[in-house]
Amino acid sequence: MIKADAKNSRSIEAFINESVELAGARKNGVDLWALWHNLQRTPAERMRRHDIALDMRRKLQKAKKL
């Protein structure tokens, strides 16, 4: 996993600011840092975290029906 130290943070921030698409996404409320950090995880870890979130959503939907 790549850590976002101060140097990397500045270069990533510069990359985001130089991209019209990424700057537009940020302006529309997309959390680019959350996406970047998620992409640092392995695919297996991203799938595991997705499964946890999906399970929680299902539990909340079921509780809402009660």
Q: Measure the CA dihedral 26/28/29/34, to 10°.
A: -40
pLDDT (0 to 100) of residue 24: 92
Residue 13 has pLDDT above 90, yes or no: no
Band (pLDDT 50/70/90 cuts) for residue 1 is very low
**43-58 residue pLDDT tens:** 999 999 999 999 999 9
Question: What pLDDT is attached to residue 3?
Answer: 56
Instruction: Supply the DSSP string of 21-63, one letter for each residue.
Output: HHHHHHHTT--HHHHHHHHTS-HHHHHHHHHHHHHHHHHHHHH
